[in-house]
Amino acid sequence: GLRLSDPVIMERSAGDLLTLRKVHPCGSYQREVYRPGADIGIRCTACCRRLLMERRALEKRARKVARGSQTLL
Using DSSP bridges, classify how beta strands 17-20 and 62-67 pair: parallel, antiparallel or unpaired.
antiparallel
| Residue 3's pLDDT band (cuts 50, 70, 90) | low
Q: Can you give the length of the chain in residues?
A: 73
* CA distance linking residue 26 with residue 60, whole number of Å: 21
Output the pLDDT for position 59: 87
pLDDT surpasses 80 at 11: no
Mean pLDDT of the chain: 81
Tell me the pTM: 0.72
pLDDT surpasses 90 at 72: no
pLDDT tens digits along 38-61 = 899 999 999 999 999 998 898 888
